[in-house]
Chain A
Amino acid sequence: NAGVTQTPKFRILKIGQSMTLQCTQDMNHNYMYWYRQDPGMGLKLIYYSVGAGITDKGEVPNGYNVSRSTTEDFPLRLELAAPSQTSVYFCASSYAGSSPGANVLTFGAGSRLTVL
């Protein structure tokens, strides 16, 4: 059981380049999320998805796009990379409900992105 898997772990981009961060989970969670974490700051929600075919904006969506074609996969796309997007990106998943384990996030190991 791999949990949440993110790739790549590290990437350096030039300004204006595009890339996709991949995320897959094998826990059959309906909810998936993308966060970014900047030094000394709390995690900020970029986008989330409540299930296949449904996505919604979080707190800081500008400059990013997502898709959710399957329950397992939730890629994050950066179209025109900017230095402000230098950050550590975490994908996470959870299941919704009222049971004790609901809404507990399982995170991937993170993707460290630098835009120069």
Chain B
Amino acid sequence: RKEVEQDPGPFNVPEGATVAFNCTYSNSASQSFFWYRQDCRKEPKLLMSVYSSGNEDGRFTAQLNRASQYISLLIRDSKLSDSATYLCVVNEGTSGGGADGLTFGKGTHLIIQP
């Protein structure tokens, strides 16, 4: 059974702090990885893809560790607007090449406190 595991939180973090959370996946053949952000009662939206070499987008850094089968998300200088649920998404890959092989984690709830 394919599994993507996340700490559900909530993570309560003061504004301006750095926060990091991990996501583990069970299928070693997984091909691509993403972090999505979901605000309360809204749809998920892509935050960033996760590349093998790690990647950074402003205050956000994503890393992949294939040997230990986890991906991480680091948020620096956290803002009140970063409060959301962060979904880890792993693509197992399919013959058709689409996103039907995606497995979603249950999400990590982040609360930035003033």
Contacts and interface: CB of A to CB of B under 8 A. Distances in A.
Q: Do A and B bind each other?
A: yes
B42 A96 contact: no
Interface of A: 30-31, 33, 40-45, 48, 50, 56, 58, 90, 92, 94, 96-98, 100, 102-105, 107-110
B32 interface: yes
B37 to A, nearest CB: 11
Given A42-B107, A103-B91, A58 B44 contact: no
A97 B97 contact: yes
Contacts of A48: 98, 100
Interface of B: 4, 8, 32, 34, 36, 41-46, 49, 87, 91, 96-100, 102-107
17 contacts: A31-B99, A41-B106, A42-B107, A50-B96, A58-B100, A96-B96, A96-B98, A96-B99, A98-B97, A100-B49, A103-B32, A103-B91, A104-B34, A104-B49, A104-B99, A105-B46, A110-B43
